[in-house]
């Protein structure tokens, strides 16, 4: 049976992991290769690197970082942040990313999704959608607006309509982040996940709001997501991936057992 994926997400800048990571055993908690290997051993199903580097010199170090990580970690790697062209996608894939995630650029130039899917296959084009609740429809149904630039810029676009369009253009997966719940560790926006689930038939990765293992169960069962992305819950060492997977399994969610735990 296809298992649901648990995906830790790292913010990286200039080739280093920058946001609160607390693996005490690590020699260098900022080293993406060491962290990736640790999460792999711990049972992560994929890894997402979100590049928040501003400078172009920094970009080169990200390519190097992906290459070094892919040399040693044999699970899927997704890289997002600052991908603005087919050339960017090509370079990310060439150095070892398995999927590239596009957000702002996909909204500003939607043909990028078509072209990326055409050149490299839908399976490696992830469209990331940052959605924020807005005025409900006349019948009371919830609505969400697409935000860009890390949640700073409203677009006026309906998030569900954009999800549908992104898939029609060739996105093979959607990474759906709720701007309302992100960072609060108070649970994912399940209404948003359900609305996207009803709109598209590609895999959905839920993001924004994980604080407890039950939040992940909710996103996967009630929200109908195929995967859950989280940062703080793992990085602050509150829960290991292994303990979360045990919790998911105990609550009827099919997961890939952590190696060693089942051997």
Partner 1 sequence: MTVDVVIVDYGAGNLRSVARAVAHAGVEALVTADPRAVEAARAVVMPGVGAAADTMANLRAAGLVEPVREYIASGRPFLGVCMGLQALFDVSEEGGEHACLGVVPGRVVRFPQGLTVPHMGWNTVKLRRPHPVFEGVAQGSYFYFVHSYYPRPADDGTVAGETEYGGARFASVVARGNLVATQFHPEKSGADGLRVYANFVRLALVQGTLEPAALAAPLGS
Catalytic residue numbers, as ranges: 11, 130
Closest CA to 50 of 91, 4, 103, 95: 103
Mark residues 62-101: x for contact with partner 1 by CB under 8 A, - for none. --------xx--xxx----------------xxxx-x---
Contact flag: residue 3 with partner 1 (CB under 8 A): yes
Of positions 62, 227, 231, 241, contacts partner 1 by CB under 8 A: 227
Residue 99 CB, shortest distance to partner 1, in Å, is: 9
- Of 118 and 157, nearer to partner 1 (C-beta) is 118
User: In the chain, where do the E strands start and end?
Assistant: 5-13, 16-17, 47-51, 77-80, 99-102, 125-134, 143-148, 153-158, 173-178, 204-207, 227-230
- Of 34 and 173, nearer to partner 1 (C-beta) is 173
Q: Which is it for strands 153-158 and 143-148: parallel, antiparallel or unpaired?
A: antiparallel
Contact flag: residue 124 with partner 1 (CB under 8 A): yes
Angle at 139 between CA 130 and CA 204, to 5 degrees: 30
C-alpha–C-alpha distance, residues 145 and 158, integer Å: 5
Q: Which residue has the tokens 């590609």?
A: 202
Give the number of other Cβ atoms within 10 Å of residue 23's Cβ: 16
Contact flag: residue 114 with partner 1 (CB under 8 A): no
Contact flag: residue 245 with partner 1 (CB under 8 A): no
Closest CA to 114 of 190, 154, 170, 159: 170
- Of 137 and 259, nearer to partner 1 (C-beta) is 259
Contact flag: residue 201 with partner 1 (CB under 8 A): yes
Of positions 34, 42, 45, 246, contacts partner 1 by CB under 8 A: 45
**Near partner 1 in 4-33, by CB under 8 A:** 4-5
Footprint of partner 1 (CB under 8 A): 1-5, 40, 45, 70-71, 74-76, 93-96, 98, 120-124, 172-173, 201-203, 226-227, 256-257, 259
């Amino acid at each position: 049976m296809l298992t649901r994926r648990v995906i830790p997400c790292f913010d990286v800048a200039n080739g280093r992991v920058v946001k609160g990571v607390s693996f005490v055993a690590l020699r260098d908690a900022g080293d993406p290769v060491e962290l990736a290997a640790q999460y792999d051993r711990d049972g992560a199903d994929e890894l997402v690197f979100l590049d928040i580097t501003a400078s172009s010199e920094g970009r080169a170090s990200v390519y190097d970082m992906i290459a070094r990580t892919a040399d040693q970690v044999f699970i899927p790697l997704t890289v997002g942040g600052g991908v603005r062209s087919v050339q960017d996608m090509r370079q990310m894939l060439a150095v070892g990313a398995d999927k590239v995630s596009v957000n702002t650029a996909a909204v500003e130039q939607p043909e990028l999704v078509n072209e990326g899917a055409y050149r490299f296959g839908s399976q490696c084009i992830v469209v990331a959608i940052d959605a924020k609740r807005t005025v409900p429809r006349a019948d009371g149904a919830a609505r969400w607006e697409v935000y860009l630039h890390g949640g700073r810029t409203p677009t006026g676009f309906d998030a569900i309509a954009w999800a549908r369009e992104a898939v029609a253009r060739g996105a093979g997966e959607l990474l759906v982040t709720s701007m309302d719940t992100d960072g609060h560790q108070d649970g994912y926006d399940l209404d948003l996940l359900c609305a996207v689930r009803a709109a598209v038939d590609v895999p959905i990765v839920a993001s924004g709001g994980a604080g407890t293992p039950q939040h992940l169960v909710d996103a996967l069962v009630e929200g109908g997501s195929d995967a859950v992305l989280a940062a703080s819950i793992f990085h602050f060492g509150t829960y290991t991936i292994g303990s979360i997977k045990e919790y998911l399994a105990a609550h009827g969610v099919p997961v890939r057992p952590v190696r060693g735990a089942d051997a």
